[in-house]
Amino acid sequence: MAEIKFVNITKYFGTTKVIENLNLEVRDGEFLVLVGPSGCGKSTTLRLLAGLEELTAGNILIDEKVVNDIAPKDRDISMVFQNYALYPHMTVYENIAFGLKLRKYRKSEISKMVAETAEVLELQELLNRKPKQLSGGQSQRVALGRAIVRKPKVFLFDEPLSNLDAKLRTQMRTEIKKLHSRLKTTMIYVTHDQVEAMTMGSRIVVMKDGIIHQIGTPMEVYNNPSDLFVAGFIGSPKMNITEMALTDSGLLTDKDSGIELEIPTEVTDYLTSHDIQKVIIGIRPEDIYLESRKSCSNPIEGIIDLVEPLGNETLLYVNVHNITFTCKKMGFIDAKQGDMISIYFDLKRLKYFDVENQKALW
Ligand SMILES: Nc1ncnc2c1ncn2[C@@H]1O[C@H](COP(=O)(O)OP(=O)(O)O)[C@@H](O)[C@H]1O
Ligand SMILES: [Mg+2]
Please name which of 195, 202, 190, 188 lies closest in space to residue 233, comparing C-alpha atoms: 195
The pLDDT assigned to 362 comes to: 75
Q: What's the whole-model pTM score? A: 0.91
- Residue 304 placed within a domain: yes
Q: Give distance in angstroms: CA of 38 to centre of ligand 2.
A: 7
Beta bridge partners of residue 162, listed in sequence order = none
Q: Which ligand is nearest to the CA of 160?
A: 2
Give the closest ligand to the alpha carbon of residue 13: 1
Q: Which of 205, 233, 261 is the last residue of a domain?
A: 233
Q: Are residues 150 and 32 in the same domain?
A: yes
Structural domain containing residue 308: 240-289+299-354
In whole angstroms, give the CA distance from residue 134 to residue 140.
9
pLDDT of residue 73: 87
Q: Which of 44, 47, 48, when mutated, tests ligand 1's pocket best, judged by the most ligand atoms within 8 Å of its CB?
A: 44
Sheet containing strand 57-62, strands side by side:
16-26, 4-13, 57-62, 65-66
Q: Whose CA is closest to atom 8 on ligand 1?
A: 44
- Both 312 and 182 in one domain: the answer is no
Report pLDDT for 133: 95
Regarding whether 73 and 118 lie in a shared domain, the answer is: yes
Residue 102 lies in a domain: yes
Q: What per-residue confidence (pLDDT) applies to 147? A: 87
For residue 88, cis peptide bond before it (omega within 30 degrees of 0): no
The answer to whether 187 and 155 have CB atoms below 8 angstroms apart is yes
* Same domain flag for 227 and 253: no
Which pLDDT score, from 0 to 100, does residue 158 have?
94
Regions in the chain scoring below 70 on pLDDT: none
Q: Report which ligand 1 atom has the smallest distance to the Cα of 36.
A: 22
Write the CB contacts of 98 (distance below 8 Å, at least 6 apart in sequence). Answer: 87, 90, 146
**CATH number of the CATH domain containing 218:** 3.40.50.300
Whether 221 and 277 map to the same domain: the answer is: no
Same domain, 202 and 217: yes
Co-location of 118 and 249 in the same domain: no
pLDDT at residue 171, as a whole number: 84
Q: Answer yes or no: do 19 and 77 share one domain.
A: yes
